[in-house]
């Protein structure tokens, strides 16, 4: 009985935990982009990537823009999909040739970001996202991953 109560409580806060996860992952990803593009956050200016260089500059732009969009919860699924793909590319093109496993090839960050963003593609932004502000104004009151909202939709569908 106690396990059921704990599960119920955790499920109630799941959309907020997803939002916190999204915000932290987006912020960390945007910081990588800002560091590569502008030499911020302790990265020396001579370590920045030159504008237009392949693939570094494009990866940094995806990191900054994608990370910011994910952090804010704007176009979360699309931004997370592009960001996940860029990290898969980084892992297999840059890191994997140096060794099979992430511990061998220094690809842990690329692998973790890839999977974290892929998770957000499927979970959505959680309860606290700017997307919610814009979609509510358009008459859409859904809350991705919100069990209470899903139960309400299920009841409405069952009674219709």
Please give the pLDDT value at position 77.
97
pLDDT digits (tens, 9 = 90+) for 83-128: 999 999 999 999 999 998 999 999 999 999 999 999 999 999 999 9
Angle at 132 between CA 126 and CA 78, to 5 degrees: 70
User: Global pTM?
Assistant: 0.79
Question: Other CB atoms closer than 10 Å to residue 119's CB: what's the count?
Answer: 15
Task: Report how far residue 160's alpha carbon sits from residue 135's, in angstroms, rounded to the nearest whole number.
Answer: 24
Residue 102 structure tokens:
């992430």
- Hey, what are 83's tokens? 């960001």
Query: CB under 8 Å to 43, separation ≥6 — which residues?
Result: 35, 36
The answer to whether residues 71 and 27 touch, using CB atoms and an 8 Å cutoff, is yes
Question: Which residue's structure tokens are 């020396």?
Answer: 44
- How far is Cα 55 from Cα 60, in angstroms, rounded to an integer? 9
Give pLDDT tens digits for 29-83: 999 999 999 888 877 667 788 888 888 899 999 999 999 999 999 999 999 999 9
Judge whether 62 and 33 are in contact, CB under 8 Å.
yes
């Amino acid at each position: 009985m106690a396990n059921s109560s704990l599960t119920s409580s955790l499920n109630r806060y799941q959309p907020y935990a997803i939002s916190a996860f999204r915000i932290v992952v987006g912020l960390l990803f945007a910081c990588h982009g800002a560091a590569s593009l502008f030499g911020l956050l302790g990265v020396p200016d001579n370590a920045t990537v030159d504008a237009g260089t392949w693939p570094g500059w494009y990866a940094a732009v995806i990191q900054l823009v994608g990370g910011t969009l994910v952090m804010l919860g704007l176009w979360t699924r699309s931004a997370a999909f592009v960001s996940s793909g860029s990290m898969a590319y980084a892992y297999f093109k840059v890191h994997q040739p140096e060794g099979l496993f992430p511990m061998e090839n220094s690809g842990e960050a690329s692998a973790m970001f890839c999977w974290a963003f892929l998770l957000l593609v499927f979970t959505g932004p959680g309860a606290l996202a700017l997307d919610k502000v814009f979609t509510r104004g358009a008459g859409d009151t859904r809350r991705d991953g919100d069990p209470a909202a899903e139960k309400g939709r299920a009841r409405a569908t069952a009674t219709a």
